[in-house]
Amino acid sequence: MSTAVITAWSAVSPYGTGRAPLAAGLRTRTAPPESAGPEEWTAQPAATARVVPGFEVREALGKVGTRGMDRLTGLTAVTVREVLSGEPPAGEEGDLGTGIVLGTASGSIQGFMEFTKASLEGERPIDVMPSRIPNMAMNRAASAGAIRHALKGPNTTVAAGRLSGLVALEQACRLLADGRAQRMLAGSAEEFSATRAHLTRAAHGGGVVLGEGCVMVLLEDGDTATGEPLAEVLSVHHRVAPPGEFTAALTAAVRAALAEAGVPSGAVWAAVPGEAPGPAGEQERRVHEELFPAEVRARTASVALLGETAAATGAYQLAALLAEPGEPGRIALITATDPDGPVGCAVLRLLTEGEAA
């Protein structure tokens, strides 16, 4: 059976809009600057974050159809536009179309809180801005990205915390393998907001710098791909670890993914951890140290450069691999852990020399 291949990708990140700024920042191992968010977002007076520079939804997408659109949806819609270069892939008669699978933590938690606050403060519970109602659907970002770009294929949102990017990649590959779509966009997104900053501070203390952004890849069937293959998705595997015990579950997931891909651990050229805060990330790093030599662990930039990007982390790991130079055919592995228990990994074969410097 043919495997899915990545034929295009793009991003909206703290480095800027498009894949070139992200690739350049990751390849040079340069962290984007920290900045204070707008006053209404600030969770702590001295808090900083790594946000997409100058990003405003209505400026990025125009005024039509963006009134009340939350930041998460805006980041996603712009990324879809960038990966498609402004035009949906051309289809022929009988074409199953292009679909989207987007990974998210829980949609826009800032939007949920603002909607709830307006309902509680109004004279009646229904006294909320109608333009904000669509933001209450977790699939708002994925559906808006499809509607704005006339994509007619399957449209799916998956919520798996820090594993969201990997789960979205797996779901997109399944839809392609099942013949449900001609092409699939897969990725994950996260927004910066005061509500998310409060929740992160409560869970991990004040030392975590938040990041945001969205990365999407275009997937096609390896036998019928019309674009240049950049990477082949060999396997994706995930499971749930017992509370606080990530090491054994992640090790088993890595071994299962490598076995499914038919790749020995010694053939892995680069291994990219998700850098989760707290014990999840610490145990993940220990697994990498036990399974892979130092040069394999250091081959790509750490996604920690971008800050704590939560649901977008897996997609950023994928971007780091696609940007890193090397000989075509090299094997790469991504792992992810979430403090709530999910762990997983993906094995890819990189088919190009990486992004131009």
Contact 314, 266 (CB under 8 A): no
> How far are the Cα atoms of 181, 249, 298, 325, 344 from residue 255, in angstroms, in the given order?
30, 10, 20, 26, 11
Helix (H, G, I), strand (E, B) or coil at 319: helix
The whole-angstrom separation of Cα 341 and Cα 241 is: 5
Is the pLDDT reported for residue 270 higher than 70? yes
Largest Cα span, the chain: 65
Query: Residue 93's pLDDT is what?
Result: 44
Is residue 113 one of the residues assigned to a domain?
yes
Confidence grade of residue 44 (pLDDT, cut at 50, 70, 90): low
> Which residues constitute the domain of residue 160?
4-221
In a domain, 226, yes or no: no
Q: Are residues 95 and 215 in the same domain?
A: yes
Mean pLDDT of 79-89: 78
For residue 355, is it within any domain?
no
Contact assessment for residue 312 and residue 215, using Cβ atoms and an 8 Å cutoff: yes
Alpha helix (H) residue ranges in 219-312: 247-261, 279-291, 294-297
Number of domains into which the chain is organized: 2
| pLDDT tens, residue by residue, 310-345 | 999 999 999 999 999 999 999 999 999 998 999 999
Q: Encode pLDDT of 149-168 as tens digits.
A: 899 999 999 999 999 999 99
Please report, rounded to a whole number, the percentage of residues in the chain having pLDDT higher than 90. 62
- Among 111, 38, 41, which residue's Cα sits nearest to residue 73? 111
Position 43 pLDDT exceeds 60 = no
What whole-number distance in Å separates Cα of residue 212 and Cα of residue 133?
A: 23
Does residue 335 contact residue 344 with C-beta atoms inside 8 Å? Answer: yes
- Among the three residues 153, 187, 221, which one is the final residue of a domain in this structure? 221
Backbone angles phi, psi at 286, to 5 degrees: -65, -40
Do 297 and 345 meet the contact criterion of CB atoms below 8 Å apart? no
Same domain, 282 and 209: no
pLDDT score at 94: 47
Distances (CA, A) of 223 to 4, 179, 219: 9, 13, 12
- 324 contacts: CB under 8 Å, gap ≥ 6: 26, 27, 270, 299, 300, 301, 354, 355
State the CATH number of the domain containing residue 262.
3.40.47.10
Q: CB of 334 within 8 A of CB of 187?
A: no
Among the candidates 163, 192, 221, a domain finishes at 221
How large is the average pLDDT for residues 172-198? 91
- Residue whose entry in the numeric block shows the structure tokens 């919520």: 159
Place of tokens 């099942």: 178
Identify any residues that bridge with 140 across adjacent strands, giving them in sequence order.
none
3-state SS of 217-232? EEEEECCCCCCCCCEE
Rounded to whole angstroms, the Cα distance separating 10 from 345 reads: 21
Judge contact between 13 and 192, C-beta under 8 A: no
> Do 182 and 249 belong to one domain?
no
- Does 18 share its domain with 81? yes
Q: Which of 221, 242, 262 is the last residue of a domain?
A: 221
Higher pLDDT residue, 323 or 138? Answer: 323
Pairing between strand 330-337 and 210-211?
unpaired
Residues 172 and 101 in one domain: yes
